[in-house]
Amino acid sequence: RAVARMESGASIINITSIHDSTPRIGSSHYSASKAGVVMLTKTAALELGPRNIRVNAIAPGAIETDINRERIVAFGPEAWKRWIPLGRVGQATEIAELAAFLASDAASYITGAVIYADGGYRLPLVRHGATNQ
Give the number of other Cβ atoms within 10 Å of residue 116's Cβ.
Answer: 20
Q: Which fold has domain 2-127?
A: Rossmann fold (3.40.50)
Q: Encode pLDDT of 74-107 as tens digits.
A: 888 788 888 899 999 999 999 999 999 999 999 9
Query: Where exactly are the structural domains of the chain?
Result: 2-127
17-21, 55-59, 70-74 — which one is most confidently predicted on average? 55-59
Sequence-distant (≥ 6) Cβ neighbours of residue 39 within 8 angstroms: none
Please say if 116 is a catalytic residue. no
Q: Encode pLDDT of 123-133 as tens digits.
A: 876 555 555 44
Name the residue with higher pLDDT: 97 or 3: 97
Give me the catalytic one of 30, 109, 116, 121. Answer: 30
